[in-house]
Amino acid sequence: METNGILIGHDRNYAEELSKHPFVNVRVSLKGYNEEKFAKLTGAKPEGFRLQLKALENLSENGVDCHPAVMVSFSSKRSLRNLIRRIAEIDLKLAEQIEKEELILYPKVKENIRKYGLRYLRTVVSRFGMPSLGLSSGLIIPAMVRLR
């Protein structure tokens, strides 16, 4: 199942219901790496990003198989590292299972990037190179993303 997670983050009952189905995997698609970038990319209220992270927490706490997918096309290495740390605070396993989403530059997408003054960072994907991250717990996440 794919979702932006906002309803699951707002109401944990959705996660509880999903936990009754053992063969469900939930892919939570995160747009942006923080509240500000989420709002810029989606036009939605910034708190929607916190609800996406809360969805991951609710799903994880209810034993639902899930993983985050992150739009990396507008993210720097530093911003991605910060997001990975936030996800690791929810559940280290989730941080190890991040799936990267890359933007496909269709003509309309290019037009919208220009229209909204977004900075597309194509090179982040190729230069990102799976960095190791030292977390406060002393654990190391050896890869930024795992392709599914």
Partners of residue 141 on adjacent β-strands: 133
Query: Does 70 reside within a domain?
Result: yes
Query: Does 67 reside within a domain?
Result: yes
Query: Does 33 reside within a domain?
Result: yes
The pTM (predicted TM-score) of the whole model is 0.79
Mean pLDDT rounded to a whole number for the chain = 83
Residue 12, pLDDT > 50, answer: yes
pLDDT band at 59 (very low <50, low <70, confident <90, very high): very high
Q: C-alpha angle with apex 18: 13 to 21, nearest 5 degrees? A: 145
Q: What's the pLDDT at 124?
A: 44
Query: Does 148 reside within a domain?
Result: no
Query: Does 103 reside within a domain?
Result: yes
Q: Tell me the mean pLDDT in the region 26-49.
A: 94
Q: What's the pLDDT at 142?
A: 37
Please enumerate in sequence order all residues whose Cβ is within 8 A of that of 45, keeping only pairs 6 or more positions apart, or say none.
Answer: 39
25 within 8 A of 72, measured Cβ to Cβ:
no
Query: Does 12 reside within a domain?
Result: yes
Q: What is d(CA 92, CA 68) in angstroms, rounded to the nearest whole number?
A: 12
Q: What is d(CA 38, CA 86) in angstroms, rounded to the nearest whole number?
A: 15
120 within 8 A of 103, measured Cβ to Cβ:
yes
pLDDT band at 49 (very low <50, low <70, confident <90, very high): very high
Q: What's the pLDDT at 89?
A: 96
Structure confidence by residue, pLDDT tens digits, 86-117: 999 999 999 999 999 888 888 988 898 888 88
24 within 8 A of 64, measured Cβ to Cβ:
yes
Q: What's the pLDDT at 122?
A: 60
Residue 130, pLDDT > 70, answer: no
Residue 129, pLDDT > 70, answer: no
Residue that wins the pLDDT comparison between 135 and 113: 113
Q: What is d(CA 128, CA 76) in angstroms, rounded to the nearest whole number?
A: 9
With pLDDT > 90 as the criterion, what percentage of the chain qualifies?
A: 57
Query: Does 28 reside within a domain?
Result: yes
Number of domains the chain contains: 1
Tell me which residue range forms the domain holding 85.
Answer: 2-141
Q: What is d(CA 79, CA 71) in angstroms, rounded to the nearest whole number?
A: 12
Query: Does 147 reside within a domain?
Result: no
